[in-house]
Copies of this chain bind each other. A is one copy, B any other.
């Protein structure tokens, strides 16, 4: 079940000049499914990434961090390799060895240094990566490289996702058009910082050194770090922006007039991709936007939004279309703002003002709340009444299917 999520159309996914993808079936967990993706970048490209904060971060995440930290001294990043079916996490020294071997094997195929490769894995944790299967399938993925394989790439990185996730946009900047196309995956173990998600966006814009790194962090915070499904932060989350610089647009600083346009487009695209993950959240039947405003700081607004978004009681009430609003107030109350004056808290369900000055709005009619709850997309707005900061989080409900998916399958 998905919430207002349509299948991406191949024709809508614009190729990005200088960026190619090749897919193979390596048989990592199951036979006859695309489970290996190689991506290559033309010389002169820039790559920046944001990774999970989980201390049990997977071996490939550690290798990515290491290779990016080399800062081009062993050659710029020129290729990425993603496998599904196994996360290569909780695998100790052997896991690190496997991640490096994957880079070495692909480097040999592409005549690059291993340090020019970023590896990614997603799937089951604590099981050894079947490295031979990956190495054997790499030549097939390389032979398949092409600029118009976005849809297949989106399919190749799926795990418990019910459908591929991809989107594309072309924007006009003062210096000419820029193409941005991205794919992502993730359906469970989704929580800011970050989700069990992989997100890759490529653009043909160029960036001055350093600029892309700052921008990637900013974009992640406003998109993939603002979604949550079950509050579980994965070991493998990675979000990568790749800029080939093959268009006429080369952005030298944040005051560059093209910067504003490309930044805005990146945020919009990344949010759309991140929200696709929520819309395809494990067992999701409702898409919920939790908007918290009137806080002293964005951090305390996020605390409250997360408490509401994570509460199993709130999530099951939304699944049931039951305006059990007391559960939301309870979550606000335990979010962790010690000096919260609940008498200043207001809450709206869609347009309906349900809680006024910390209590039930005397004008609130349950029938109105009930009506809002029927919709597949619902916004909960909370005003803390103590400042001007705000924060928004996107999440989904908790249904029978979430339990089934996570109890019945080894994911």
Binding site for B on A (CB under 8 A): 53-57, 87, 89-95, 124-128, 188-189, 191, 193, 230-235, 310-313, 316-317, 319-320, 322, 324-327, 329-334, 337-338, 340, 342-343, 355, 357-360, 398-400, 402-404, 406-408, 410-411
In the complex, what residues of B have CB within 8 A of residue A408's CB? 320
Of A125, A326, A358, most B-chain CB atoms within 10 Å? A326
* CB-based contact A53/B334 at 8 Å: yes
Q: How far is the CA of A316 from the CA of B233 in the complex (A)?
A: 16
Q: Can you list the 3 inter-chain pairs with the closest CB atoms, starting with the nearest?
A: A125-B326, A92-B359, A56-B333
Report the separation of the CA atoms of residues A338 and B54 in the bound assembly, to the nearest whole angstrom.
9
Copies of chain A in the complex: 2
Residues of B within 8 A of A355 (CB): 90, 126
CB neighbours (8 Å) of A398 from chain B are 312, 403
A338 proximity list for chain B (CB < 8 A) = 55
Residue of B nearest to A229 (CB): B312
CB <8 Å contact, B188 and A326: no
Q: How far is the CB of A183 from chain B (nearest CB, A)?
A: 23
Measured between beta carbons, the chain B residues less than 8 angstroms from A127 are 326, 360
Contact status of A326 and B92, CB under 8 A, knowing A188-B313, A334-B53, A342-B56: no
Which of A355, A359, A411 gathers the greatest number of chain B CB atoms within 10 Å?
A359
CB within 8 Å for A403 and B410 given contacts A89-B326, A189-B313, A330-B233: no
**Shortest beta-carbon distance from A311 to chain B in Å:** 5
A90 contacts B358, C-beta separation under 8 Å: yes
Q: Which residues on the B side are within 8 Å of A191 (C-beta)?
A: 334
Provide the bound-state CA to CA distance between A400 and B399, in Å: 9
Contacting residues, chain B, for A92 (C-beta < 8 A):
343, 357-360
What residues of chain B lie closer than 8 Å to A90, measured between beta carbons?
325-326, 329-330, 355, 358-360
- Kindly name the residue among A231, A310, A312 whose own CB sees the greatest number of chain B CB atoms within 10 A: A312
Task: Contacts A95-B359, A360-B91 given; indicate if A55 touches B332 (C-beta within 8 A).
Answer: yes
Q: List 10 A-B contacts (CB under 8 A).
A: A89-B326, A127-B326, A232-B311, A232-B327, A232-B330, A232-B331, A235-B330, A312-B406, A320-B407, A400-B404
- Bound: A333/B340 CA distance, A: 30
Chain B residues with CB below 8 A from A57, complex form: 333
A334 touches B124 (CB 8 A): no
Contacts of A311 in B (CB 8 A): 230-232
Task: Give the residue of B53, B125, B316 whose beta carbon is less than 8 angstroms from that of A403.
Answer: B316
**Min C-beta distance of A309 to chain B, whole Å:** 12
Considering the chains assembled together, what is the distance between the CA atoms of A329 and B95 in angstroms? 15
User: CA A54 – CA B342 in complex, angstroms?
Assistant: 10
The listed residue with most B CB atoms (<10 A of its CB), out of A193, A234, A334, is A334
With CB as the reference atom, state the residue of chain B lying closest to A311: B232
Kindly list chain B residues whose C-beta atoms are within 8 Å of the C-beta of A193: 334
Contact B126 A89 (CB under 8 A): no
